Structure 1
């Protein structure tokens, strides 16, 4: 800025506060405030908002409360308060590090605190931008004037309480705001909506409705967001009838037209109670009102049909979505279509969808493969699991090769626990022990502990009496021998008696 003859103003430094919050440098925020004062820049109320929001974002409600209290007391020594908080944080951090050092000595582990992971070069940048952080003044400067907290300050602190589940503190803050002499501190629609959200999050729907009624008494009009929060609460508690009544009340009594978010919430609520007909009814009502469905609307309705075992209806919704020029079909929609067929074990139909997906330029992800694995298990077609595992394995190998060659055309595929466990389960039940060991090795490479107890139980129940008929052909005998060697290797991994350690275990005293 100096190169272009520009001087930083208060907005510049407010952005600096947000920057420190974004990169996790809480200890530097006080020096931004001090820099504003030292440069003679006029501090504004937005600076106070940014300060409280930064500490709430860090989860440091103690410091946020101290800032608000200092503002209520009309104190100008805010920098002193922040320095004291920094000192207290440093002391607590040193105590934690001492405990971690003791733990490291005992366990031989290394611990790196999150705050110490600093991007390379960022330290020099902050030294240049905040030279006062290197050589701070002995006496922290005073604010040019005192600032009283307004409703936005209180609401920001309330959001911190809500995030931490402190519902009682949220309600007490609302009560304190109502008693303030300064009208700027009185609760507004954002404040009330925050309190409603806190009660909804805690499952206290009656209390949330009381807040809505109080808004009407106090002359604070509720907005669409307030009603949508309540709708979501009722749907989460499976009270769809009350959600439907609220939707009507919203339009008829409050004069607030529901939007696409309102309908998406209640359609999703119908899914929770397995009411696909209700989901379709609300979807059609939404369109009757002239509200255009979004991508979420279509995929939510597809989910309703997929979960209720009606994949053909899900396919019809998908086709309509494809024809809608306002909506762009994404991987989530394709996966929902695959899931609908896989839930019924219709693996061939699901494979055709995956082929269409690839033709349209979409690569299957972990969710796609997970649905296919579940479908294979339901259809009892273990051979399909081998083809699926082959494709997954090739995707992982191709990705590693492309990373080494600098090519990133293939999207990253990192199998998760659910997918690998399902594939291993299918292979063990079908006695594909060689492939099962490959999948287990992949799990261990990705830091996923295999459920050895489950696989041992399956093996003992299903394969403990494997044998080869003496009348079998030589080719069949050889195939059986190959299979038996794989079974022995799998038993070795399970820790069961095998040819490597003899045919049985003895738990009695050792014989000389």
Structure 2
């Protein structure tokens, strides 16, 4: 969102002549802001400017009918602060909290209302926290932005909108709002900007986490420049630091984490239990499970009470690191009501109470060792007993599932069912995890029986549970049972299948080479009003590809391009290329690749691999030379993210060996070795013996013909040398450079 633009001809009163601006917070306290208090003079070059956000109440602040100063406004030179005409009716609706009617009236206004109405309407839309309200708020902001009237909105309403967008999952939009305010020289309230940092770091995405840290640093720089009591409401609190620490933990950056941790004291933000829970996650990401127990001890010594989430974080750390033994011991100790958990973990993880020069050579290890506050004294006792809850049990079950221990998963569910505490009994997530473990193990009958037991316990299955069963049946090639389950979902559980359900069945049809059934499910899905996804289209294309129907795959691709709800991606293009290449239709495949490039998608390893296989099918070795040149250029040019795999290079080498292009074959096998791929010498030796053993044995060729073949013979002898076959270069040094320069542009032999 761009920063608000100044009017065309602003007035520039001197700071001394401008009276202090004032507004009231939700608590009724009057706050003052004079333009001269800001160190960013450019922000006050005209009358239309943001107010710094001062507070964020649980609901939009009430507004008296006699005063307009109880809600922060943007002074506006073109309309003033007094609404006229329809603005009176609009403001009346807003005061009565009739947001729906107010927005409808705003939509019918032939003019843009004044600052009071706009800011209040935006604040109330943001407070609703619904997708419709958020869309309307974005539309309002977009309209003002297009008309260069963003200055009519106050910072409080924009802060509320940013917080609402962040909570709704629209973190990039929320980020644009906060950055716009920062560019204008004003600091949002901590609840507004920290909610954006928290949203960006919530999913663990590295790019978003890095963006969260950049936003946090921007706010700190703004605070350092302002250095005024008026910025107190923007200063980071413990929750804001925790959001930034979570971002650093997602990136596994212990140094940044330690710097943020040290800054907390400077801002008088006291670390809480959540702070140390995040530190546990960082140690797990750094694979330092020996330090986890010391973090728990630091929590206790800091006179904080660990929460059940702390215990879950510890169990999750051990499970994630594959130490199921320690995780089991911990959960069992919790079931027994033991409080000597720290002593138990010390003995199980064989920790060291001093910095080991051998194991802590990295700076990261030293930083983590300091953060964990490793101590050698007697481990403390837990302040209370912690019984494992459903989430802890489920986490351990997922560890069993990932290790292929389906029987232990079932035993865990049985133990949970015997628990008296409802917080420890299996819920939908626990049952779905157990069903997933059984489905992965191929025990579909037991998985279906567990579904019935789940119903008997009063836990209703959801769509995810049924999709897990559908996937299990398809993996076991039990398509009839999968179809029957799909048909029974609405009547048995009141659950309608979704696009994921149908995608699973379409993919299952591929496993049995039944493209007709795949098409039938695709059409049934559309007939039920379920829009296909990109996966739906590409999976159906795959069904026609593996059954040898490239024209039908092409038709599906064309329909995908006509569907406005989806966009063809690289996967779809690659599937179409593969469909043509399976039948050696190289020209059709090359046209798809050109179209792919026009759409902004660069060919990847899968694209080139399909082309190489298609060239082999079509027996067009000349195309192999062209393809190898492009692949080699991508490798030598430092193609971002491009690294040839074994399938691609082996297919190209196979074509070149069969076509007696030994120079190119040597280049390809050299590329394989550079990328850590072992060439299949046995296969290439067999091809050479079968096809080229008598290649240069004729004694009746003319001298001219022998001269023309000399360079090819040198390459053939070099390839035989690489294979280990008898040749004239044993005992001498072979160099790839041609004698006298006999190679063409592509180095054809």
Partner of 1:256: 495
Residue 280 of structure 1 is matched in structure 2 by 519
Q: Does 1:337 find its partner at 2:576?
A: yes
Distance in 1 (CA, whole Å) between partners of 2:364 and 2:721 is: 52
CA contact (8 A) 1:167 1:199 kept: yes
Find the partner of 2:296 among 23, 29, 33: 33
Measure, in 1, the Cα distance between the counterparts of 2:605 and 2:547: 23
The residue that corresponds to 1:215 in the other structure is: 454
Alignment of 1:272-351 (within 5 A): 272-351=511-590
For 1:219-238, what aligned pairs fall within 5 Å after superposition? 219-238=458-477
Residue of structure 1 aligned with 2:635, choices 396, 401, 404: 396
8 A Cα contact 2:326 2:349, kept in partner:
no
Q: CA deviation at 1:270?
A: 0.8
Corresponding position of 1:81: 344
Gaps of 5+ in 1: 95-111, 400-409, 503-512
Find the counterpart in structure 1 of residue 672 from structure 2. 443
Contact 2:503 / 2:535 at 8 angstroms: preserved in 1? yes
2:437 counterpart of 1:198? yes
Deviations 1:352-393 (A, max 9, x none): 111111122211111111100110010111111111111111
For residue 162 of structure 1, report the CA deviation from its aligned partner: 1.2
Q: How does 1:384-423 map to 2 (within 5 A)?
A: 384-399=623-638, 410-423=639-652
Which string of whole-angstrom CA distances, capped at 9 and with x for unpartnered residues, describes residues 6-63 of structure 1? 1111111111111211221211111111111111112211111111111111111111
Shift of 1:474: 5.9
Task: Give CA-to-partner distance per residue, 1:241-290, whole Å, 9 cap, x none.
Answer: 11111111112211111111111111100111111111111112112222
Q: Is the 8 A contact 1:271 1:279 kept in 2?
A: yes
Aligned alpha-carbon RMSD (Å): 2.1
Larger displacement relative to structure 2 (73-82 or 172-181): 172-181
Query: Deviation of residue 501 (structure 1)?
Result: 4.6
Q: Distance in 1 between matches of 2:587 and 2:704?
A: 32
Structure 2 CA distance for partners of 1:501 and 1:161, relative to 1, 3 Å: closer
Cα distance change of structure 1 residues 183 and 386 upon mapping to structure 2, 3 Å threshold: same
- Structure 2 residue aligned with 1:3: 266
Task: Show the counterpart of 1:453.
Answer: 682
Stretches of 4+ moved more than 3 A in 1?
A: 467-477
Distance in 1 (CA, whole Å) between partners of 2:492 and 2:437 is 24
Taking a change above 3 Å as real, the CA distance of residues 202 and 117 of structure 1, as seen in their structure-2 partners, is farther
Distance 1:452 1:180 in 2: 61
List per-residue Cα deviations over 1:292-346 (Å, max 9, x = no partner).
2222111111111111112222122222222333323221111101000001110
Structure richer in helix, relative to its length: 1
- Whether contact under 8 Å (2:291, 2:369) holds in the other structure is no
- Residue 185 in structure 1 maps to residue 443 in structure 2: no
Match of 1:125 in 2: 367
In structure 2, C-alpha distance between the alignment counterparts of 1:209 and 1:20, rounded to whole Å: 39
The structural deviation recorded for 1:499 is: 2.1
Quick check: 1:15 aligned with 2:272? Answer: no
Deviations 1:424-473 (CA, angstroms, capped at 9, x unpaired): 11111111111111111111111211111111111111111114767767
Provide the C-alpha distance between the structure 2 equivalents of 1:351 and 1:9, rounded to a whole number of angstroms: 60
Structure 1 pair 241–358 and aligned structure 2 pair: CA distance change class (3 A) = same
Residue 207 of structure 1 deviates from its aligned partner by: 0.7
Distance in 2 between residues matched to 1:248 and 1:21, nearest whole Å: 44
Deviation at 1:142, TM superposition (A): 1.2
**Hey, what does 1:500 align to over in structure 2?**
729
Contact 1:468 1:480 in 2 (8 A): no
- Unaligned segments of structure 2, at least 5 residues: 1-263, 732-749
- Residue 606 of structure 2 is aligned to residue 358 of structure 1: no
Q: Comparing 428-437 with 309-318, which one deviates more in the overlay?
A: 309-318
Higher relative contact order (CA closer than 8 Å, sequence separation 6+): 1
Q: Distance in 2 between matches of 1:368 and 1:33?
A: 50
What is the SS of the residue equivalent to 1:358?
A: helix
- State the distance in 2 between where 1:177 and 1:340 align: 50
Closer/same/farther in 2, CA of residues 43 and 467 from structure 1, 3 Å limit: closer
User: What is the alpha-carbon distance in structure 1 between the residues aligned to residue 704 and residue 592 of structure 2?
Assistant: 38
Number of aligned residue pairs: give it: 465
In the superposition, the TM-score normalised over structure 2's length comes to 0.60
Q: Which residue of 241, 263, 272 maps to 2:480?
A: 241
After TM superposition, the structure 1 stretch with the greater mean CA deviation from structure 2, 367-376 or 150-159, is: 150-159
Q: Tell me which residue corresponds to 1:167.
A: 406
Q: Is the 8 A contact 1:468 1:477 kept in 2?
A: no
- What is the DSSP-based 3-state SS (H/G/I as helix, E as strand, rest coil) of the residue aligned with 2:715? helix
Q: Find out whether 1:482 has 2:711 as its counterpart.
A: yes
Which residue of 366, 369, 385 corresponds with 2:608? 369
- Equivalent pair of 1:177/1:185 in contact (CA under 8 Å): yes
Partner secondary structure for residue 669 of structure 2: helix
> Which has the higher Rg, Structure 1 or Structure 2?
2
Give the secondary structure class of the aligned counterpart of 1:466: coil
Q: CA 1:395–1:314 in 2, change beyond 3 Å: closer, same or farther?
A: same
Separation (CA, whole Å) in 2 of partners of 1:458 and 1:146: 71
**Partners in 1 of 2:522 and 2:469 — Cα distance?**
19
